[in-house]
Structure 1
């Protein structure tokens, strides 16, 4: 598989120190060389995912920041990010990869479920949380991710749910995703692509379960 070149990290570190248009214009040729290497790596990840999944779209996020409503007016992101979208209404969940010196990570799951999907997930956890808890407790999954990210939660209980529900720890979530960080050494290692794919593949039982939840009602009847 293609590798993440060290020049990519060198460029992002320099960009962090010189986050302005003049510097970018002067170093645009280096930026384009690194982007070409990154896109080759992303294609390898897409191909790897497609051996056991079906990827509809690989989206490379722009390096330009949207600064219209931000107090931070620096024009460029100092990381490179890509997402991999699964094909079809019956395949739910998404893969994400972030390359940044000192802060690289992969993630996967459901970042901003639509209100109907969010309610459906919460209702499922209220009805029967044993399947999701079994997935989260699987040793390799737990070692890699720890558990669901809890950064985005309501403070007590969502409307219509009891704060005393035994599964309120799951129900309070507004997003349902996991994260695994990578060290700089791991990112620059020859086997980084395989490392990323290994962690993405750990998500499949979770995705399969959540896909079933989101394509059926509480009686298990298909909504598709």
Structure 2
């Protein structure tokens, strides 16, 4: 479970995003970090029961994104992120760009996955896979439990024009015009603090698992 102390720290660093405050409150950060490590380990154990590409023994620290921002090329010079990201739960066993993700931020937490904004060549390969195996793909994203969890998959950002090589009257054009192939499920703060949140998160990832498999097949 995510503790209220962890959520409070994330809120406080958003309000006090400077090195002096962070150093004075390093103990709060360590407590929050340790909580996230424990939580991530619990998620890995649950998810490994669903996805054979996830190893329950993965070091959870390797899945937690650094809190330090890269400000070299950013106009925003605040040094710290005001959220905690958890990714690479499969430790590179999926093709680059495909994976699970969790974002922890009071009032804006979510679980998601798939492939967000893939590069040009990967987009072409995924579109081709959707075109060839549209029935299989729609069975995943149009499944009632998938829609209940993530909403309408086609509501993601789409091209304003028809992608090269496809016709406007293609019955699956709304899927072929997608720029991303990802799904997101929002989480309330109260849900994060429940004792079974790791199991619930894994349940959301279970709905994503077939999507990741389809995308993986498109790129191999």
TM normalised by structure 2 equals: 0.87
> What do you get for the CA RMSD once the two structures are aligned?
2.2
Taking the aligned partners of 2:66 and 2:18, their CA distance within structure 1 comes to: 15
Taking the aligned partners of 2:120 and 2:126, their CA distance within structure 1 comes to: 10
Give 1 or 2: higher helix fraction.
Answer: 2
Question: Which residue is 1:221 aligned to?
Answer: none
Is this contact kept in 2: 1:65–1:75, CA < 8 A?
yes
Structure 1 window deviating more from structure 2 (144-153 vs 36-45): it is: 144-153
Question: Which residue is 1:80 aligned to?
Answer: 84
Gaps of 5+ in 1: 216-224
From 55, 68, 71, the equivalent of 1:67 is 71
Gaps of 5+ in 2: none
From 3, 6, 18, the equivalent of 1:5 is 3
Question: Which residue is 1:14 aligned to?
Answer: 12
Structure 1 window deviating more from structure 2 (184-193 vs 199-208): it is: 199-208
The count of aligned residue pairs is 213
Taking the aligned partners of 1:193 and 1:209, their CA distance within structure 2 comes to: 25
Taking the aligned partners of 2:97 and 2:84, their CA distance within structure 1 comes to: 24
Structure 1 window deviating more from structure 2 (107-116 vs 13-22): it is: 107-116
- Residue by residue over 1:40-69, the C-alpha shift from the partner in whole angstroms, topping out at 9 and shown as x without a partner, is 110111121112322266521111111222
Question: Which residue is 2:136 aligned to?
Answer: 131
Matches within 5 A, 1:170-189: 170-189=175-194
TM normalised by structure 1 equals: 0.86
Taking the aligned partners of 1:129 and 1:192, their CA distance within structure 2 comes to: 34
